[in-house]
Structure 1
């Protein structure tokens, strides 16, 4: 990736995360940094790929939040609850063919069990809303600041791959 493209991506991530954080703070959400994290994680070079990453993130967050809250209510916040919840969450998310969301679901399940000062379900709902805000902001920023189309991105990647193959060929021949 060129230096200019790297700078554009970093700029878009910075803008999306900062705006997400500010909105979450203005709404007086308890953990606004989760909105900023979601914006950074799902940001990609095109709107379509950001949307796809956002969908995966939402699936993982929903499964993990439900699992974490369920196990926290049923077993409390302890070693066993954490272990069982993370195992079942990752296993079932993968079993249901949401492989890309499985680790995230396990992570969210763990934070719901271990990191809450309010009711389990309320905490899980908060994580979902913050994630949704971050994803929404990433999509908006990606659409309006240095938007890239998949065709342009595909041509750039293809060009880079051909350049890399040419360099590899020269190394092999020499």
Structure 2
């Protein structure tokens, strides 16, 4: 099935296009053949407009169109008795309809539908009996069929994209933390601050959040994907942990930037290399964490546990080196860095047991008859 979809997509026949064509055809068939509607094209048009990427988007589009059409029909029916179709009547009907919709703070999509419906009902409603009611009914029919087709026929699953973004986010987090070690040996005239790298990480966090929100929309109003909501909820919790790690990395950058300006640290602190080792070991935890939460396995869980243990050891050695330091500014900045590093490890440590439980559940499910 995936190969067929990929080949069709290369030819321009995406899944959404196929769904749109099928929804329009089915709406026309039901309206004309089964319900013997006089205006079946309204149902087909509504179906074409309603099919969107996600079911939630389709529901939103359908509700906007239905509300706009009902509003436009009501305005034309109320005011059409005093107007005949012409340039002046069109001006006032659209002016009043869009003005009321705007005053009620309706969506721009609804406002445009109010104008279109007002115009069409004014033009045809006076000469064709039942036109206004048929327009409302056919729109509801076409929109409903489009929503059902979007929900039932190969509904979009955005979870793989969320997992992909999480892996990218975790890798960039680890890379950024490793890169901050360059601030320890940066003594040239143009000091590195790490601000650009951290800002890039913040942007990646926003992109990951957007992917998660899109996945939430893809599952909304879709009963067939209920079982995937638990997976998405767990991924959402993992994204929050990564965001917390990002906050700690920002704090580490600021502390390292302060230490750059401390002459005593640059010339007299003997444990710089140990701090670099602690940064590297903690970054390894983030890498292992990202792989474990997306695709948990016994091997990855053990790798994460080992990385956490090593990071704790390197951080403890850094803490021991502070006993030989009497400079209060160095103690404050180093204490802040070690606190943030410890918090990062704590964040990666939380899903360790959860990942093992997920792996056990998956293995049990696969082995059961």
Scaled to the shorter chain, the TM-score interval is 0.7 to 0.9
State the Cα distance separating 1:22 from its structure 2 match: 0.8
What's the TM-score, normalizing by structure 2?
Answer: 0.39
2:133 is equivalent to residue 141 of structure 1: no
Give 1 or 2 for the bigger CA radius of gyration. 2
State the Cα distance separating 1:154 from its structure 2 match: 6.7
2:89 is equivalent to residue 101 of structure 1: no
State the Cα distance separating 1:6 from its structure 2 match: 5.8
State the Cα distance separating 1:8 from its structure 2 match: 0.2
What's the TM-score, normalizing by structure 1?
Answer: 0.80
Quote the Cα distance in structure 1 between the aligned partners of 2:161 and 2:100. 34
State the Cα distance separating 1:71 from its structure 2 match: 2.2
State the Cα distance separating 1:97 from its structure 2 match: 1.1
Q: Give the direction of change, closer, same or farther, for the CA distance of 1:153–1:86 in structure 2 (3 Å limit).
A: farther
Aligned match for 1:23, one of 20, 24, 30: 30
8 Å CA contact retained: 1:46, 1:153: no
Q: Across the two proteins, how many residue pairs are aligned to each other?
A: 156
Q: 1:1-174, aligned counterparts within 5 Å?
A: 3=9, 7-26=14-33, 27-99=35-107, 100-116=109-125, 117-119=127-129, 122-149=130-157, 151-152=158-159, 155=162
Quote the Cα distance in structure 2 between the aligned partners of 1:130 and 1:8. 24
8 Å CA contact retained: 1:45, 1:153: no
State the Cα distance separating 1:155 from its structure 2 match: 3.6
Q: Give the direction of change, closer, same or farther, for the CA distance of 1:64–1:11 in structure 2 (3 Å limit).
A: same
Structure 1: give runs of 5+ residues left out of the alignment: 166-174
Alignment RMSD (CA, Å): 2.6
State the Cα distance separating 1:108 from its structure 2 match: 0.7
Deviates more, 1:96-105 or 1:76-85: 76-85
Structure 2: give runs of 5+ residues left out of the alignment: 1-5, 170-199, 201-369
